Structure 1
Amino acid sequence: MCRKVQSPIFTTGKLTYMKGSLTLILGVLIALCTHAGTVDTISVYSNAMKKDIRTVIILPSKYKKLSNLPVVYLLHGWSGKYSGWIKESPQLAKTVDEMQIMIVCPDAGFNSWYFDSPVDSSVRYETFITGELVPYIDQHYKSSKHRAFRAIAGLSMGGHGAMFLSIRHKDLFGNAGSMAGGVDIRPFPKNWDLSKKLGDSATHPQNWENYTVINVVDQLKPGELNLIIDCGIGDFFLPVNRAFHRKLLEMKIEHDYTERPGAHNSKYWGSAVDFQLLFFKKAFDKAKAAVVAAK
């Protein structure tokens, strides 16, 4: 179920991401029993791409009584979609209640890699997320509008996207995370239809250099972002994550980096997200303490 939202309407326990036999009544009972937050699916219009973008919103159950909520934008991976996170990590509905945050999961197409394509003008997901989605959320929801209370993270392609967007838009994001992220796309010129978004690596080599996160990180200075990066030791992206980690160390960019048992699959990032959200919650709490101390 998906609806286009002009102003937010919330129903406790409305699990719009489920299909088939799961009814609204069952959803309400689940929420009441587990003290979980609400899950809704909305459509946000992208003027840049002239289409509606489906987006999952996860809110604390006491949302109406809250204000200035920290926001975590969670990005899906290649071949995924907006509903992927809540299906693979159903604990998120409870986590938002425990942490008093909100989570936003936008759709980014089959293989957008979260940038504005230099060869396909119809692919403008950097513009959508940073210039359209974030302003939409801040206008229609009780979200904090300060970068210190805004985070972005993702899995695989979404890990690349989170790093790419946070580094290029430090005015919007104070925190970013990558789970099993494709943080250097250059070793994979024949994979995931990347050439359709960047051009062939042989004829458009500069695009591949300019749009890979391991090079974009050159724009980052120490202390500008709170970063957390993790990857499974059985993941094919492990070598590029290790290289990314080494470069951050050389640049003296503070970050949390973890390798854990696991492969490139939903089992890995379905649990890795818990560690990343805890990292963000600590950053939000620290920022809140700083605001209180400054008063």
Structure 2
Amino acid sequence: MKKYLLLLTCLLFTLTFAKAAKVDTVETYSDVMKKKIKALVITPSNYETSKECPVVYLLHGAGGNYKQFIGLNPAIANWADQYHIMIVGVDGGVTSWYWDSPIDKDFQYETYVSKELVGFIDKNYKTIKNKTGRAISGLSMGGHGAMYLAIRHQDVYGAVGSMSGGVDIRPFPNNWDMAKRLGTYAENPELWEKNTVTNLLYLIKPNSLAITFDCGVDDFFYRVNVQLHEKMADRNIPHDFTARPGAHTSQYWANSVVYHLMFFNTYFLKANLQK
């Protein structure tokens, strides 16, 4: 009996890992910045034999890179399998804030992510090639970036999330190299005003984006996230906002990303069944 149980356990172990999602690093090229940029691509285990996949793009925080999310929570590969989705770990430079910087031509990450990278993924992978098959989220700087890109490119993304996002940059004029991308707030207030997420809500079209965002109650970005939630509520913009125990930590994001993938899976199922 023990021998039988041992063989069964070994068989189950083998089958589990034989069907594991595939995690690859790919090299893309940005024409607008004239450089090679890496990305992490996770494809589900049945990718080769099944229908087109929806794609979730994940944006790292300041100081991170394209591998940040798989490092925070390696189990996201299992969720790619369970939901039959692709996950793309995006590299946005150390502190790009995912803008097309008006003062530094070497930081044109809005164009890279929403045009060049999306185009590369759609060209080289079996994806749903419209907004109903694309979602974008990120943490901290990447949370701002995801909201910023999705709001400005509602023809590209159908769903968006933010984890502990810096969704209003104006209270932090001396932090995270933002002045290097936009100029100082004192000298370029108009650039700061039009490049902060909280001031872009007027661009959101009815029923154009499925929105979720969250923040830990002990996070230094908590106040700006609550204010964003209140502004969306005042404007009757449908969204999910969650405040949970936690701070600006790896542990918080490792947990948060699971809920975002769940939210996006629900969106993909609903959006693509209605097509």
Q: TM-score, normalised by structure 2?
A: 0.93
Deviation at 1:288, TM superposition (A): 2.3
- Alignment size in residue pairs: 263
The equivalent residue for 1:173 is: 157
Instruction: State the one-letter code of the partner of 1:95.
Output: W
Of 192, 206, 213, 2:197 maps to 213
The equivalent residue for 2:76 is: 92
1:224 is aligned to 2:226:
no
Q: TM-score, normalised by structure 1?
A: 0.87
SS where residue 65 of structure 1 aligns?
coil
The equivalent residue for 1:265 is: 249
Of 142, 156, 161, 1:158 maps to 142
* Larger deviation, residues 282-291 vs 96-105: 282-291
1:68 is aligned to 2:52:
yes
Post-superposition Cα deviations, 1:112-145, rounded to whole Å, max 9, x if no partner, equal 0001001111110000011101011001000101
CA distance in 1, matches of 2:48, 2:255: 29
Cα root mean square deviation, aligned: 1.3
The 8 Å contact of residues 35 and 94 in structure 1, kept in 2 or not, is answered as no
Of 116, 121, 124, 2:108 maps to 124
SS where residue 215 of structure 2 aligns?
strand
Post-superposition Cα deviations, 1:250-274, rounded to whole Å, max 9, x if no partner, equal 1110000000011101100111011
Of 30, 54, 57, 1:46 maps to 30
The equivalent residue for 2:67 is: 83
The equivalent residue for 2:8 is: none
Deviation at 1:31, TM superposition (A): 8.6
State the structure with more CA Rg.
2
The 8 Å contact of residues 181 and 241 in structure 1, kept in 2 or not, is answered as yes
CA distance in 2, matches of 1:190, 1:30: 52
Of 173, 177, 198, 1:189 maps to 173
* Larger deviation, residues 63-72 vs 237-246: 63-72
1:278 is aligned to 2:265:
no
Post-superposition Cα deviations, 1:193-219, rounded to whole Å, max 9, x if no partner, equal 110011011011111101100012221
Q: Which runs of 5+ in 1 are unaligned?
A: 1-28
Deviation at 1:67, TM superposition (A): 2.5
Deviation at 1:32, TM superposition (A): 4.4
The answer to which structure, 1 or 2, has the higher relative contact order (CA under 8 A, 6+ apart) is 2
CA distance in 1, matches of 2:206, 2:163: 21
The structure-2 alpha-carbon separation of the partners of 1:34 and 1:269, relative to structure 1 and needing over 3 Å to count, comes to farther
SS where residue 55 of structure 1 aligns?
strand
